[in-house]
Amino acid sequence: MHLNEFPQAADASAALAQAVAADLAAAIETRGRATLAVSGGRSPVPFFQALAQAALDWPRVTITLVDERVVPPGHADSNAGLVRQYLLQGQAAVAAFLPLVNTAANPEQELATAQTLWQTPDVVVLGMGDDGHTASLFPAAAQLAAGLDAANPHALLTVVPPAAPHTRISMTLAELRRSGKLYLAIAGANKRAVLDTALQGVNDTYPISYLLQPSEKPLHVYWAA
C-alpha cells in the first residue's frame, strides 16, 4: 500500500485527479485508448469535477463504474447519474460512458449485458465504507465468497447487500487485480481507523483487506483528514 495523506479533501481530490489523468494519458500513449472505472456516492464529486477539467484526449477514454445499484438511470441512487452530472462535463463530456445498468428490469440480464460490453480498466478509483466494503463487496453478503475468489474468471457479479438497499452489480476482486493502477480515496478519522484495522491481515470482515496486503499491484491510498 502507498499512503498519500492530505490535510484537506480538496487537496486530495486535486492530487488524485492529477495522478489519474497522468495514468490515462500513459495508457492512451501505449495502446491508443484508456478505460477508467470509478466509484459512486457523494465523496468522489470533487474528484470528478477536478478530473473533468484535465487536458486529456477524452474521445479516447471510456468511463465505467466499479459498481452500480440495479435502479433505473434516473433514480437518485444511480451511480451512473452521478457520473453524468459531475464527471461527463467540461472537457470530459466527449468521453465514452459504459454504464453497468440500463433498464434495471432484471439484475441477471443487466449483469449479462454488462459482462458482454466490459473492458478491463487501466485505472480504478475505489471507495470504502465504514464497514470495510469496497466496490459492492459487502461483509456477510451471500455472494462475498465468489466476489473475493481470486480465481473467479468473471469481471462482474451481482451482490445483495445484507443491510443496504438495492441489488448491486460489482467488479470482482479477481478483476480488480487484473486491472491496471488501483486507487482508494477515503476521508476522515473513522475510515482511517477502518483502514488501519484492515491492514492487520486478510479478513472477510473487511473486504478491503484483500487489496491492502503486499503484492505486485499496490493500492494507492489518498486519505484526507
Tell me the pLDDT band of 41, cut-offs 50, 70 and 90. Answer: confident
Residue 104 confidence (pLDDT): 78
What's the rounded mean pLDDT across residues 116-126?
98
What's the rounded mean pLDDT across residues 21-50?
96
What's the rounded mean pLDDT across residues 35-63?
96
Residue 196 confidence (pLDDT): 97
Residue 149 confidence (pLDDT): 97
Is 216's pLDDT higher than 80? no
Average predicted confidence (pLDDT) for the chain: 96
| pLDDT tens-digit map of 165-203 | 999 999 999 999 999 999 999 999 999 999 999 999 999
Residue 203 confidence (pLDDT): 94
Provide the domain count of the chain: 1
Residue 136 confidence (pLDDT): 97
Tell me the pLDDT band of 214, cut-offs 50, 70 and 90. Answer: confident
Domain of 65, in residue numbers: 2-224
Tell me the pLDDT band of 42, cut-offs 50, 70 and 90. Answer: confident
Query: Is residue 26 packed enough to be buried (19+ CB in 10 Å), middle (13-18) or exposed (0-12)?
Result: middle
Chain centroid, CA 162 distance in Å: 20
What's the rounded mean pLDDT across residues 131-153?
97
Long-range residue pairs from 3-6, CB within 8 A, at least 24 positions apart, any chain: 3/221, 3/223, 4/220, 4/221, 4/222, 4/223, 5/223, 5/224, 5/225, 6/222, 6/223, 6/224, 6/225
Q: Kindly state the percentage of the chain with pLDDT values over 70.
A: 100
User: What CATH number is attached to the domain comprising 51?
Assistant: 3.40.50.1360
